[in-house]
Amino acid sequence: MPGMDDLSLIENGEDMPVTISNLDQYVELVWQAVIRDTLKVAVDAFKVGFQQVLKLEHLDIFSPEEVPLLYSGVKQKWTLAELTQHVVPQHGYTSQR
């Protein structure tokens, strides 16, 4: 497999040329090795770490659209008026330009 010479996708695969007749099988095996198997390890590790903070089943009360709002919030642009209304200058700073 490109970039992973030590990984065998299929028994005796190193002796098998990729041709038009077996291209679909090759693509499927590459997908399985790279996406399904390799990323599964990373995703499983993330889930273990995440569950130390919050159990995944607690997220069931939220829709898939609501979950990103939990960790990234609502994306909105603030106006200058909103900023000046909520930002209180301190430590020798003033709101004067």
Distances (CA, A) of 75 to 68, 70, 78: 11, 12, 10
Percent residues over pLDDT 70 in the chain: 93
Please give the mean pLDDT across all residues of the chain: 84
Judge whether 4 lies within some domain: no
Judge whether 96 lies within some domain: no
Judge whether 66 lies within some domain: yes
pLDDT in the model for residue 52: 94
Least confident range of 2-11, 34-43, 87-96: 2-11
Considering its fold, how many domains does the chain have in total?
A: 1
Pinpoint the alpha helices (H) of the chain: 23-31, 39-53, 67-72, 80-86
On whether the CB atoms of residues 10 and 29 are closer than 8 A, the answer is yes
Structural domain for 17, as ranges: 13-86
pLDDT digits (tens, 9 = 90+) for 53-78: 989 898 899 999 898 888 888 878 88
Whether residue 85 is predicted with pLDDT greater than 70 in this model: the reply is: yes
pLDDT in the model for residue 2: 59
